Amino acid sequence: MLIKNLKDCPEFTAGDNSLLREIFHPDKTALDIAYSLAHATVKPGRKTIPHTLKAAEVYYIIQGKALMHIGSGSAELIAPCAVYIPPDATQYIENTGPSDLIFLCIVEPPWRPELEKILKS
């Protein structure tokens, strides 16, 4: 059994400018999983940098309100909800609420730097 406490996962600024904590990744644990799981935070009034990922991704919104941009479409997200992001889609998320936007990122196959392309800052 492997249990991880979020406070034990180091926080860092991801390439898209979100604050990220990797929870489970097959390259960093002995787990035989085909996905990665991370905890992300976007501060009020901030947004991530548009980017693409060569993997399917799901955001599960735990807290907050956001505007999700995927390709040419946009939709409001209010916790709790989930959104599917197809591979190679241009994406970014804006925190439109007064508190931190907190969500889980599930990426399959697992996130790796070579799968992500940051489009502009």
Q: Tell me: pLDDT of 120 over 80.
A: no
Distance CA 43, CA 102 (A): 9
Please check whether residue 37 is in contact with residue 4, taking contact to mean a CB–CB distance below 8 angstroms.
Answer: no
Q: Domain residue spans in the chain? A: 33-118
Task: Provide the CA 101 distance to its chain's centre, in angstroms.
Answer: 11
Specify the CATH superfamily of domain 33-118.
Answer: Jelly Rolls (2.60.120.10)
pTM of the shown model: 0.94
pLDDT digits (tens, 9 = 90+) for 46-85: 999 999 999 999 999 999 999 999 999 999 999 999 999 9
